[in-house]
Amino acid sequence: MKTAPNLVLVGPMGAGKSSIGRRIAGRFGLAFIDADREIEKRTGANVTTIFECEGETGFRARERDTLADLLGGEAQVIATGGGAVLDAGNRTRMRERGFVVHLHVGVPRQLSRLARDRTRPLLATQDRERVLRQLAEARAPLYAEVADLRLDTDALSPGDACATLGRLLAQQWSRASAGTPRAQA
């Protein structure tokens, strides 16, 4: 069993990090924080606008700073953006300050879940499938590197995913509290 002060959700867009994260937070009595929404709150601009004005590099710098702040807290479920794992420092902080769950979803299900979503800058293209496949290829090893647990959400509703994840977390994660030394994973 790994002891960590936070639960961190990683995975591709459309995996259910936000919807499952909210439910899990409620189930375990934790605060829920969507890292992308926190970045928007801090900048006063949405992710699309940040990408337009600062590019992906500018957004990733904001993401790095925001995650560092968030991971300094405890008793939270943090839903990260799909690309948060690209930064080695983010991966290190997630492993140090969180029990990291990789919510996996395949590209066909992503396409279905994101069909009407026009808010994701990386999907502002005609060939969404190609982009999602490229992102999956580049990021899958990073999700695997950082994850303490992997849950495939492809065939699960948010409720079923939450129930399954809740059972797995009860077996594998112990929440650290202030002043409690962390156990080694």
- DSSP-assigned letter for residue 117: -
Residue in 178, 30, 25, 18 with CA at minimum distance from that of residue 82: 18
Residues 95-122: tens digit of each pLDDT: 999 999 999 999 999 878 877 877 776 7
Check the annotation: does 177 bind a ligand: no
Per-residue pLDDT at 99? 97
Distance CA 132, CA 82 (A): 11
Check the annotation: does 72 bind a ligand: no
Check the annotation: does 42 bind a ligand: no
Per-residue pLDDT at 62? 96
How far lies 113's CA from each of 47, 52, 56, 116, 125, in Å? 19, 24, 23, 8, 16
Check the annotation: does 18 bind a ligand: yes
Distance CA 99, CA 77 (A): 10
Distance CA 117, CA 85 (A): 22
Distance CA 80, CA 93 (A): 12
Check the annotation: does 139 bind a ligand: yes
Residue in 18, 23, 5, 28 with CA at minimum distance from that of residue 177: 5
Q: Does 3.40.50.300 match the CATH number of domain 2-173?
A: yes
The residue with tokens 């700073």 is 65
Check the annotation: does 14 bind a ligand: yes
Q: What is the rounded average pLDDT for all residues in the chain?
A: 90
Question: Is the pTM value of this prediction over 0.75?
Answer: yes
Check the annotation: does 64 bind a ligand: no
Check the annotation: does 87 bind a ligand: no
Q: Is the pLDDT of residue 48 over 60?
A: yes
